[in-house]
Structure 1
Amino acid sequence: MPTHPATLPIDDLLAQCSATTTRRSGPGGQHRNKVETAVILTHAPTGISAEANERRSQDANRQEALARLRVRLAIEIRTPANEPTELWKQRTAGGRIVVSSTHDDFAPLLAEALNHLAAMDFETSAAADQLGVSPTQLVNLVRKSPAAFTRLNAERENRGLRPLK
């Protein structure tokens, strides 16, 4: 089974990425305008990239770009859905999905949820049954990422299903 890139350990994912630094305008004064603190990470195997430039620190922007890249990979890339992973089982104890959208586990969980939704033709009830959670819990996880929720509704609309609210 191919490993989803959003589930890779951080060092392994970074090894597959190229990083570019640049300057961006905006608040931050002379430091921001003179120093290349903006970071763009591009995942070489897929060509998917993410950028961060809000902070004055290049390291902080690299961490934010990495988090954004992992979420974009989770949304864009589909791999076969098998049994729920150990991470999924740990995070769904009692049928509730417990994770913040800013936690390192969010992107792997989102990727797994979207893989199962895709395998079930974006029928939330069928995917939720397969994952051992309620359809509401599954949709709420996807809703934590507006881009993922928009993608879910677009896929449902392509299949003639009603959009989720």
Structure 2
Amino acid sequence: MVNDTKPDWLQTVSAPHPSRQPLDRFERDCQLTMTRRSGPGGQHRNKTSTAIVLVHQPTQVSGEASESRSQAKNRSVAVQRLRLNLAVVIRCLESDEEADIELRKKHAGRSVWVAEQNPQRPAVISLVLDDMVRYQGDLQQVAKEWRTTASQLLKLLRSETPAIDYMNRLRAFYELRPLR
């Protein structure tokens, strides 16, 4: 049962979802700013601009990193954080793209766990949350779609606090109880 009623706070984009785009295409849509932030201590603290702030221009969602003294490492972390932020905040309700089908096939029927450092983690989380919208917050239906259990999907979403918060906000919209 799929109903077209959607929350008015739902932000959507057309396919492909930004968190599922190839890195080179994704980075073309981002504005990079190097800045100074408090970072690791020591004699050279704040003497160089190693903090990275990335803003995805079409959606104005941002991600940043400043914990390393290496600009390259901070950039890599900022890209992953931005992709994760996009995965949680932005929905793409047309997931018939070949890449989405392949990603779903690769992770369906398993524990659906994706390591934190895995570049596909934001893409998997975004697909699960897109399905949550498609099935009006019904985790059991989404689990069937992914050929796994609801508890496995919940474990994945719980690993990212913003993702579980988003899911519970969506469930509240559809008058379902929150999941912990």
Both structures adopt the same fold (TM-score exceeding 0.5):
yes
Q: Closer, same or farther in 2 for the Cα pair 1:30/1:24, shift >3 Å?
A: farther
CA contact (8 A) 2:87 2:123 kept: yes
How far is 1:28 from its partner?
2.5
> Could you tell which deviates more after superposition, 134-143 or 117-126?
134-143
> What percentage of aligned pairs have identical amino acids?
37
**In structure 1, what is the equivalent of residue 8 of structure 2?**
none
**TM-score (norm. length: structure 1):** 0.92
Which residue of the other structure, out of 71, 92, 116, is the alignment partner of 1:79? 92
**In structure 2, what is the equivalent of residue 101 of structure 1?**
116
For residue 140 of structure 1, give the secondary structure of its aligned residue in structure 2: helix
Q: Partner letter of residue 176 of structure 2? A: L
CA contact (8 A) 1:22 1:38 kept: yes
**In structure 2, what is the equivalent of residue 120 of structure 1?**
135
Q: Partner letter of residue 56 of structure 2? A: H
1:24 pairs with 2:29:
no
How far is 1:154 from its partner?
1.6
- Which stretches of structure 1, 4 residues or longer, exceed 2 Å deviation after superposition? 25-32, 81-84
Which residue of the other structure, out of 3, 14, 17, is the alignment partner of 2:27? 14
For residue 175 of structure 2, give the secondary structure of its aligned residue in structure 1: coil
Unaligned runs of 5+ in 1: none
Going by fraction, where is helix more abundant, 1 or 2?
1
**In structure 2, what is the equivalent of residue 68 of structure 1?**
81
* 1:133-152 deviation line (CA, Å, top 9, x unaligned): 21111111211211111111
Q: Distance in 2 between matches of 1:28 and 1:149?
A: 33
How far is 1:26 from its partner?
4.4
1:91 pairs with 2:107:
yes
* 1:11-60 deviation line (CA, Å, top 9, x unaligned): 11111101001111243324231100000000011100111000011111
**TM-score (norm. length: structure 2):** 0.85
**In structure 2, what is the equivalent of residue 36 of structure 1?**
49
**Root-mean-square deviation (Å):** 1.6
1:141 pairs with 2:127:
no
CA contact (8 A) 2:111 2:148 kept: yes
For residue 102 of structure 1, give the secondary structure of its aligned residue in structure 2: coil
Q: Distance in 2 between matches of 1:74 and 1:105?
A: 11
* Count of residues in correspondence between the two structures: 164
